[in-house]
Amino acid sequence: QKEVEQDPGPLSVPEGAIVSLNCTYSNSAFQYFMWYRQYSRKGPELLMYTYSSGNKEDGRFTAQVDKSSKYISLFIRDSQPSDSATYLCATIKTSYDKVIFGPGTSLSVIP
Amino acid sequence: EADIYQTPRYLVIGTGKKITLECSQTMGHDKMYWYQQDPGMELHLIHYSYGVNSTEKGDLSSESTVSRIRTEHFPLTLESARPSHTSQYLCASSESAGDQFFGPGTRLTVL
């Protein structure tokens, strides 16, 4: 079993839709949770960085962590074609550990 | 300007050649990483460094080697390139571990 699992998609939504991207993880020791966005043929870029359970909002993006069910989500409101990318969830136990990346979910937002 | 650079961006080379992929960052980060990523596939950590003169192998077995003589520089070397090395190589740096800054990547093709 992989430590972090994601549905690879592809996920296709119309412009303006609310998008929900999800990950599950297996190790309850993970404390920090990240979402990265990767455009085609580019390196990933950090979108959201959260610690422990709860919600974090940044503009149209909301990251949600539920440690009791080992479930992390990224919500995108009013999705735009420029949001079309692969979204990778990631997690880590402490700041001295290696980041564990999920395989990524491919998202297409259709105008 | 704080950034992370990778050169070359694209490289096509014949089997058996020795190659070095360059990675430099201007942010003064102690932690640096090399990932390998095939198109549409997961990121695989192949090497990492937590400071000068410190290098470790990652999770994916790799025939490459790295060095860290200066904080800002983390080159990756393949002594004898093979077609199986064809992939995208991504360099990253971070101050803590979760907030990694990725370079644009080097797309390597070995004929």
> What are the chain B neighbours of A23 within 8 Å (beta carbons)?
none
**pLDDT tens by residue, B6-51:** 999 999 999 999 999 999 999 999 999 999 999 888 899 999 999 9
pLDDT at B94: 93
**pLDDT tens by residue, A11-62:** 999 999 999 999 999 998 898 999 999 998 889 999 999 987 889 999 999 9
Domains of chain A: 4-110 (2.60.40.10)
* Straight-line distance from the first to the last Cα atom of chain B, in angstroms, rounded to the nearest whole number: 36
pLDDT at B3: 92
Residue A42 burial (CB < 10 Å; 0-12/13-18/19+)? middle
**pLDDT tens by residue, B90-106:** 999 998 878 899 999 99
Residues on B contacting A at a C-beta cutoff of 8 Å: 40-43, 45, 48, 50, 58-59, 88, 90, 92, 96-105, 107
Domains of chain B: 4-110 (2.60.40.10)
β-bridge partners, B44: B36
Q: Does the distance separating the beta carbons of A46 and B99 come in below 8 Å?
A: yes
Residues 53-72 of A with CB under 8 A from B: none
pLDDT at A41: 85
